[in-house]
Amino acid sequence: MSTLDRGKFNSRFGFILAAAGSAIGLGNIWRFPYTAGTHGGGAWVIMYIGFVFLIGVPVLFAELSIGNSTQTSPVTAFKKLVPNSWWPALGGLGVLTGFGILSFYSVIAGLTAMYAGFAIGGKFGGIDIAQSGEIFGQIVASPVWMIGVSFGFLLVTALVVRKGIGGGIEKAATWLMPILFVFLLILVARALTLPTAGEGLAFMFKPQLDEISFQGIVSALGQALFSLSLGMGAMITYGSYLPKEENLPASAMTIAVFDTCIAILAGLVIFPALFLVGAEPDKGPGLIFVVMGGIFDAMPASNLMAFIFYGLLSIAALTSTISLLEVIVAYLVDERGWRRERATWAVASSCFALAVPSALSLGASASLSRITEKKGFLDIVDMLCGTYFLTFGAMLICIFVGWKWGIKAAVAAIEHGGHKMPAVPVWGFLVRYVCPLAIFVLLIYGATQGANW
């Protein structure tokens, strides 16, 4: 196997940027604000942050320790740790889940890139929310555009992944993440100087206890897992490209803190902007296209701001699609002995085939703008892979580390490089009891409600 096929990260900093790049994505800037908006803001945001650290971080430790100690991707990793068992199937489920998520994620990601292109073309001056909604409706109804942008996004993702870890994924993250931070800071500065900044801040941080619902609690937990890229072995895979000597506890905390800060900053951009034009934050998944698209006109340099906003979304999405594609490519390389180049193109093109019905479904069901409540193909794949498989996977990963592999072995793997893992008993308790139980409740609730949180 050549170094291009398996490869490794060249520095811990590069790894952190790549892993944070995987975590920071549409989940932070698209899904987080609209879900927070749907569930009433403040109290939901606090629950979300609680779940990130109570459930998300322990699962993140679990995934990184599996990958780092075995130095291979999920299926092969489970085979190494427990030969002749069913556990490798959990890795297989992750590969399948990643494939599904990548297929619909590319469609939304393609749309954000297209909107960035619109801004360059000066489309955001002089349109209000109603006109923005019309434009959105026309785009999603156009098969050529929808399929085209999804194809384009997958192509760019494949062009990075085919270059391998150090020369492709790490390099891309090292370039893209700093741009992402600068873009976000510009937008935060803009939003916080809007007259409605106070209103936005209050919405995000002032807990209104009567807004808490069981569905809200469940959705906060689901969002915490999705946002940290947990449950399908993405972090197992990235952890496997890191030398065993690295400081895993510190890396995991950095990634989680990074990811949470970016979600909050994204909220700080979006809510003041919404209140500027008196828009309600509970408009669902179409929020960043329909509602935000109609808001830029109310600001000076509208097209520049729109470009920065949609550019930010595209960059965040790209570092995430890269990680999704990598999980599947790594499986083919490590387990099946494929060459990276061949695996990349094979996976990207079959994923494109699955993206086509998702891309077409938006126009048919108009689900992104919630014009109708009808579920389209995209929503179904999102629900199945992005919610059920992911949460099921996260639960089994906890059970694996907590009850099969063992906390002792996992901690030994984490501390291999001489870096002490803090609060081991707390982590053990969370991984063995709290995480699997909390996730189990989430799954049961989801199954009975058919909810797509």
Q: Give the footprint of ligand TRP on this chain (CB under 6 A).
A: 22-23, 25-28, 101, 226-227, 229, 231-232, 234, 320, 323-324, 390
Closest distance between ligand TRP and the C-beta of residue 319, in Å?
8
Decide: helix, strand or coil at residue 321: helix
Closest distance between ligand TRP and the C-beta of residue 158, in Å?
16
Between residues 7 and 231, which has the closer beta carbon with respect to ligand TRP? Answer: 231
Beta-carbon contacts of 309 under 8 Å, excluding residues fewer than 6 positions away, are 119, 183, 187, 269, 292, 296
The terminus-to-terminus CA distance of the chain in angstroms comes to 41
> Which among 241, 229, 91, 72 has a CA at the least distance from the CA of 169?
241
Residue pair 18/259 in contact (Cβ under 8 Å)? The answer is no
Residue pair 290/131 in contact (Cβ under 8 Å)? The answer is no
Closest distance between ligand TRP and the C-beta of residue 425, in Å?
28
Between residues 109 and 135, which has the closer beta carbon with respect to ligand TRP? Answer: 109
Closest distance between ligand TRP and the C-beta of residue 365, in Å?
22
Q: Is the dihedral of CA 401, 404, 406, 410 positive or negative?
A: negative
In whole angstroms, give the CA distance from residue 20 to residue 17: 5
In whole angstroms, give the CA distance from residue 332 to residue 46: 40
In whole angstroms, give the CA distance from residue 374 to residue 56: 31
User: Using CB atoms, what's the residue nearest to ligand TRP?
Assistant: 27
DSSP 410-424: HHHHHGGGSPPPS-H
Between residues 76 and 323, which has the closer beta carbon with respect to ligand TRP? Answer: 323
Between residues 226 and 296, which has the closer beta carbon with respect to ligand TRP? Answer: 226
Closest distance between ligand TRP and the C-beta of residue 259, in Å?
7
Between residues 247 and 323, which has the closer beta carbon with respect to ligand TRP? Answer: 323
Between residues 26 and 401, which has the closer beta carbon with respect to ligand TRP? Answer: 26
Closest distance between ligand TRP and the C-beta of residue 13, in Å?
20
Between residues 204 and 224, which has the closer beta carbon with respect to ligand TRP? Answer: 224
Closest distance between ligand TRP and the C-beta of residue 239, in Å?
13
In whole angstroms, give the CA distance from residue 359 to residue 377: 9
Between residues 324 and 407, which has the closer beta carbon with respect to ligand TRP? Answer: 324
In whole angstroms, give the CA distance from residue 59 to residue 234: 12
| HSE toward the beta carbon, residue 197, CA cutoff 13 A | 10
Helix ranges (H only) for 52-196 are 57-70, 74-81, 88-120, 129-140, 143-161, 171-192
- Entry field: residues in the chain: 453
In whole angstroms, give the CA distance from residue 96 to residue 388: 12
Closest distance between ligand TRP and the C-beta of residue 23, in Å?
5
Closest distance between ligand TRP and the C-beta of residue 68, in Å?
17
Between residues 306 and 317, which has the closer beta carbon with respect to ligand TRP? Answer: 317
Residue pair 97/388 in contact (Cβ under 8 Å)? The answer is no
